[in-house]
Structure 1
């Protein structure tokens, strides 16, 4: 995709013109209606009879060798609604797009929101071009948006062009990072082992100028990451510990140091506490937290954000054989603390414990955030609309909540009161990995992780089980959404601007 920017609409042969349209009281808002009527040379009442501008509504109108596409954004237009509309257009109506496509906002002078909404449009167009069928013997035609000759011209008032260029380039970079890691999450388990995640991380780091250090099983053992090793006991595939570091430009004499940790379970059978067979095939998605961290590192490096990032991804699958860890086993961890295994399906928190301890003790970030597809409890609480947020730092929680509202990747904070920690106390070890109670599952998982943060003053845990993998426009079943990258990039931009 090539982006072009212009202040005057220039008609070209064989061109598609996308006109995003907002809705007011169930029909096209007055301002865009007048502009559309003028552009198309049609009476307003004729347009109103055919198009209501509902969210994701699409209507195409040929005019000579050009094609006008009206795209409904619905009422109360924001970044998220705009992104979803363009994602839908690119995914379900790509046949309407041509190599020369123009984005024409029906805007008036003084409107200053359209640069940001253009970022959402670019992001949505690229995301919508994602194709799930890479393992089919015949993949069919590729989406025109990903063609080398696809050119998107964005028409905005002259005084908005400079900002729009920055917004839209950011939208494209984030979208490209999202679709890359979506392919990782959607990959079947036999095509996705810990060393595959490590290889992806190393290739990205080499390409975009940050550092990747990969530890194999011997190095993990030598370092004392016993919790990661315990989850790996039942697997024929060795674990990997991926450490990434990006140092951005130093601006204004400050460079915040942020730590990220992502759960990298490439497939989760549940171990000896085996999961039901129904929907177990979706457990290829259990490295959604790792994917979010990988995509964020790549996007941050490409955007040259003025921040110092350190990230850890402990990776293994959770399989079953005679050597697999058993309920009642007591294991150690990188922190030196002992853990009683109550449920082997509570494995993600074990590898995160080692990742958190390592990043905090060895790299001392000012802020530490972990992301994981951790509990069904968070899905039962929020469905697929928001991630569960836990934090011991009100300011950090506020920044993440604000980033969620701005990007549409919403989070909602839940408590981590001291009383919940009582459920995690063990008679035989320092802590147990599962409360054993059918209540407050996401919260007690967060309390387990908090135990391994060494009382770090600014920690947040994001349980993204319901948001990283769900219904998408790409296929009939559930698939990766790319959740977390836009959220974290927005958060990083906010903390670097303070």
Structure 2
């Protein structure tokens, strides 16, 4: 893991990244006359990234477009700048690099360091010759007089949580079944000081979690249900925030088998919601936020084997409602509905569900946003959306009008698990709403959880989507409670 530190003084012997606004030139004192002249010439040619090689180190000057200081869009550009200079740093095999500026704010510098660190992620566990794949970078020193050590520690811990989420999503299904996922989450919680309970198949059966058990019927591996809790002694909220994450470790579509090409190839990532909520909880606990949070992860794979649940089956859910299964590939909502209903025992103030739920969400907003919907208070939803802008994990809000519930009506059960061909993302959220015991928000991250190609600081493979969003939302909630 790359360490992030702060300093008030530049070290001349260490490589340096200078982040500067496009209309500015860095201080001449950083350079020799020849270097500064070269820098001017390159800037006049509209070069954004300029590298000055020295005998023992190098300087990278990156110009960012003029924007309102510390606007969310500008901070995102600074993260992308960090990702861009990461390529140059890798070529130089630098282990330590400084980030500074004569024109940008400390927040912009920290965003640059964040992007640089996030872009350095590699998943090398199964490479037998992985040295070339590993990043050389071990430490980033952000140089600014007003930055404090605790700010760097917070960002470093949050990035570590994103790394862990990416690792989980990238793990292949033959190395991460439902039980293995549960134990991986328990290991995270132990490190962070959280309480964990793993329910096995017999316990899940005793609770009559019909949705989770139905989806598991086609699998050779048992299901799991993981309960994680961070309850600090000085918690500021009376009722907990509950996070629910979809833990589908692999999805074939079950008897409603997914067609190829491309539809099944990346389905190891169908547990990205579980990774998001668990790793957000990890970051919350590691940074000791004074807020009570519970994360629930129902987990199984969805296979067409054995006595797999079939279209036409009637499933009795944990809360007693009956569901007519009309598509075995709509399995995520079946396992999530049990977990959402189970959350009632904690009397939550708010429940946030995170899932790679529908291809419809991905088709609607593409790889640039998640789909959000829910019944939470307007102020709560707006706060979450602001956190999405802050972290650039943006969301597009869809409605949950009552009319969409008509599409879920069944003649022989309380409801069906799918509607028609239209409004698939909304209907999925509407289904989950039926089981929510409190104000809830559903985040469909199907389009942003897994990249087929690298983009900026988001690598090919698991992106760790929603970890930073959920962390900053919990942080804002904690601050709100403290200020009451």
TM-score by length of 1: 0.89
Query: Which residue does the alignment assign to 2:354?
Result: 371
* Counterparts of 1:348 and 1:51, CA distance in 2: 51
Q: Please say if residues 16 and 96 of structure 1, whose CA atoms lie closer than 8 Å, have aligned partners that are also in contact.
A: no
Pairwise CA distance, 1:469:
1.1
- Which of 154, 161, 186 aligns to 1:177? It is 161
Match of 1:85 in 2: 81
Q: Measure the CA separation in 1 of the matches of 2:99 and 2:204.
A: 51
Higher mean alpha-carbon deviation, 413-422 vs 83-92, is at 83-92
> Aligned to 2:477, what secondary structure does the other structure show?
helix
In the alignment, which residue of structure 1 is the partner of 2:126? 135
CA distance in 2, matches of 1:102, 1:89: 12
Residue 476 of structure 2 is matched in structure 1 by 494
1:103 Cα deviation (Å)?
1.1
With over 3 angstroms needed to count, the CA separation of the structure-2 counterparts of 1:183 and 1:38, relative to structure 1, is closer
Q: Secondary structure at the match of 1:482?
A: coil
C-alpha distance 426-48 of structure 1, shift in aligned 2 (>3 A): farther
Aligned counterparts, 1:194-233, within 5 A: 194-233=178-217
- Report if aligned partners of 2:326, 2:417 keep a CA contact under 8 Å in 1: yes
Q: Bigger shift: 275-284 or 68-77?
A: 68-77
Distance change (3 Å), C-alpha of 1:243 and 1:480: same
Q: 1:385 to 1:316 in 2, by over 3 A?
A: same
- Cα deviation, 1:48-96, whole Å, max 9, x if unaligned, reads 43247989x5332023423101234344362222222213433564123
**Any gaps of 5 or more consecutive residues in structure 2?**
68-72
**What root-mean-square deviation, in Å, do the aligned CA atoms of Structure 1 and Structure 2 show?**
2.3
In the other structure, the counterpart of 1:26 is none
Separation of aligned partners in 2, 1:301 and 1:70: 36
2:467 matches 1:467: no
Higher relative contact order (CA 8 A, sep 6+): 2
Q: Give the aligned length.
A: 470
Distance in 2 (alpha carbons) for counterparts of 1:408 and 1:365? 27
Aligned residue number for residue 99 of structure 2: 103
SS of equivalent residue, structure 1 residue 328 = coil
Report what 2:314 is aligned to: 330
1:68 aligns with one of 59, 69, 94: 59
Aligned residue in 2 for 1:41: 33
Q: Secondary structure at the match of 1:388?
A: strand
1:123–1:174 Cα contact (<8 Å) kept: no
User: What secondary structure is seen at the aligned counterpart in 1 of 2:82?
Assistant: helix
Given that 2:370 and 2:444 are in contact with CA atoms closer than 8 Å, whether structure 1 keeps it comes out as: yes
Of 50, 64, 78, 2:42 maps to 50
- Counterpart selection for 1:292 from 240, 253, 276: 276
Deviations 1:389-448 (A, max 9, x none): 10212122101101011111101111001111100111110110000x211000010000
Alpha carbons of 1:34 and 1:17: their partners in 2 closer, same or farther (altered >3 Å)?
Answer: closer
8 Å CA contact 2:371, 2:396 repeated in 1:
yes
* Residue ranges of structure 1 left out of the alignment (5+ in a row): 24-28
- Write the distance in 1 (CA, Å) between the matches of 2:207 and 2:458: 43
Distance 1:80 1:477 in 2: 16
Secondary structure (helix, strand or coil) at the match of 1:495 reads: helix
Which residue pairs with 1:94 in the alignment? 90
* Cα deviation digits, residues 113-162 of structure 1 (max 9, x gap): 32x233323322222221133212211232122xxxx33322113xx122
Q: Which residue of 2 aligns with 1:273?
A: 256
Displacement of 1:196: 1.5
